[in-house]
Amino acid sequence: MKILIVDDQELVFQSLEKFLIDHGYDFTNVYTVTDVVKILNTSKPNPITTDTNIPAEATKNQSKKEDKTFKKRK
């Protein structure tokens, strides 16, 4: 199982990193919304943990883009 961690604070990632390594999880960490899109275009991580406080400016431009990759699931 590949876990994607999305957080713009290094300390949060470092806190999760030791736990995930100790328990044998495969994971990737990204810091920006742009990086999330790049990862999701090349792999299908499951689950995803995400920062709920990513600065609005970081997501505003990305949310304006329409990406057919992210279709609503039925």
60 inside domain: no
59 inside domain: no
68 inside domain: no
Q: How many CA atoms lie within 13 A of 45 on its CB side?
A: 21
27 inside domain: yes
71 inside domain: no
6 inside domain: yes
Q: 61 phi and psi, to 5 degrees?
A: -65, -40
Per-residue pLDDT of the chain (74 residues; tens, 9 = 90+): 788 888 888 888 888 888 899 999 999 888 887 888 888 888 888 777 776 666 655 555 555 555 565 555 55
Domain that holds residue 46: 2-52
Beta partners for residue 6, in sequence order = 30, 50
Stated pTM of the model = 0.62
58 inside domain: no
